Amino acid sequence: MADKLDPGSTFPDLNLRIAGGGTMSLPGDIEMPLAIVLFYRGHW
C-alpha cells in the first residue's frame, strides 16, 4: 500500500486512463495552482 500524503506533500506523478478514451497526467495536466482530484471506482 502506498504512503498517504501529508499536508504540504508533493502530489506524485500519475498517468491515468480517462473515461471515453485518452490519458491524463497528474499533476502535469492541471493548469490551476490548486485542484481537487476525485477518484471514482465505478461499478463493482
CA max distance for the chain: 33
| Residue bearing cell 476525485 | 38
> Which residues sit opposite 23 in a β-bridge?
17
Instruction: Name the band, by pLDDT with cuts 50, 70 and 90, for residue 25.
Output: very high
- Environment class of 26 (CB within 10 Å of its CB; exposed 0-12, middle 13-18, buried 19+): middle
Alpha carbon 44 to chain centroid, angstroms: 21
Domain chopping of the chain, boundaries? 12-44
pTM of the model: 0.52
Per-residue pLDDT of 5-22, as tens digits, reads 889 888 888 898 888 889
